[in-house]
Amino acid sequence: MISIGIIGGSGYTAGELIRILMFHPNAKLDFVYSTTNAGKPLSIAHHDLLGDIEMNFTDTVNPNVDVVFLCLGHGKSISFLESNQFSAQTKIIDLGNDFRLIKDKDFNGKSFVYGLPELNKTDIKKAQYIANPGCFATAIQLALLPLASHGLLNDDVHINATTGSTGAGVGLAATSHFSWRNNNMSHYKAFNHQHLGEINQSVNQLQEDYSDELIFVPNRGDFTRGIFATLYTKTEESLEDLVAKYEAFYADQPFVTVTTTDINMKQVVQTNKCIISLMKKGNRILITSVIDNLVKGASGQAIQNMNLMFGLEETTGLHLKPSGF
């Protein structure tokens, strides 16, 4: 059994980790760390766990767990690791953005591998430290990487993506109030979202000469979870050839499905799946990518990485079905 610690245990991503890990056949939850809820039951913060798990939050860590998941706010993982030591054998999976970029991957003798399994599976299997990708970054990269792998990105890519309110985290903000968000929609961080760095980095990993622009407009949606991303760019490839390239690229990736039919978010919410739809009109390819921002975009992908790091089948504990209605 893999002994597991979770840091930052009261947030949405931690709650999803607990929900999935409770039924993972190779996982044993050792501690869930939260300074604000220490001594209180997990169900105080995660109401969906009431009756399912008898465990309290703690403000101490077991430094000898097999793996620790960092579910802290962006920029806080470094300070936590500076103040808390784990054993030389403990694997670390960071769900924040502290170590995602190549320039930030090395820290205090630790070298973090970017944890997108569909891109870096071989390195993930050998890694001790993982930087889990961002949610928008996951949906957008999975939409683009097959094109990059064939050198087919030769123009700007226009991206419009909408995320649910859980993407903003559990902390209260002006734009997360129900009265503001309900029956409402807005964009934010247009053209300069923080996930663009890791997206460009992965695209250039497969297509070094890509120098055009990823023009990204992120939106806040009037729903709790999921990402619906649409991308378009120019290409002279036929739809049939593009579909064949996408299917070949993802042939050994159990969580990615390629289709030419219309898709919707409910097909992936509560699962670790990504569904990609391809359509073409004239010389433009339209790519639609849908994921659950808390599962494939965060906690599910983190468990997928854990499975790979410990030599398990990567789908272990992640056979999750969406609810269509």
What's the predicted TM-score (pTM) here?
A: 0.95
Check whether 31 has a pLDDT greater than 90. yes
Residue with tokens 């054993």: 87
C-alpha span between 55 and 26 (Å, rounded): 18
8 Å CB contact between 218 and 187: yes
Q: What would the pLDDT profile of 42-93 be if each residue is shown by its tens digit?
A: 999 999 999 999 999 999 999 999 999 999 988 899 999 999 999 999 999 9
Answer yes or no: are the C-beta atoms of 268 and 323 closer than 8 Å: no
H-run or E-run covering 91: strand 91-94
Indicate the angle between helix axes 117-126 and 300-309, nearest 10 degrees.
40
- Cα atoms in the 13 Å half-sphere on the side-chain side of 220: 20
- CATH number corresponding to 135-292: 3.30.360.10
What topology does CATH give the domain 2-133+296-309?
Answer: Rossmann fold (3.40.50)
Share of the chain above pLDDT 90, in %: 87
**Alpha-carbon span 246 to 287, nearest angstrom:** 11
- Taking only the tens place, the pLDDT of each residue in 187-236 is 988 888 888 999 999 999 999 999 999 999 999 999 989 999 999 999 99
The sign of the torsion formed by the CA atoms of 32, 33, 39, 44 equals negative
Return the C-alpha torsion angle 37, 6, 114, 125, nearest 10: -170
Domain layout of the chain by residue ranges: 2-133+296-309, 135-292
Count of CB atoms situated within 10 Å of the CB of 241: 13
pLDDT at 169 over 80: no
Using CA atoms, how far apart are residues 284 and 292, in angstroms rounded to an integer? 27
- Biggest alpha carbon–alpha carbon distance for the chain: 61
Helix (H, G, I), strand (E, B) or coil at 247: helix
User: Is 70 in contact with 106 (CB distance < 8 Å)?
Assistant: no
Q: Which residues are catalytic?
A: 135
3-class state of residue 65 by DSSP: coil
Distance CA 59, CA 38 (A): 5
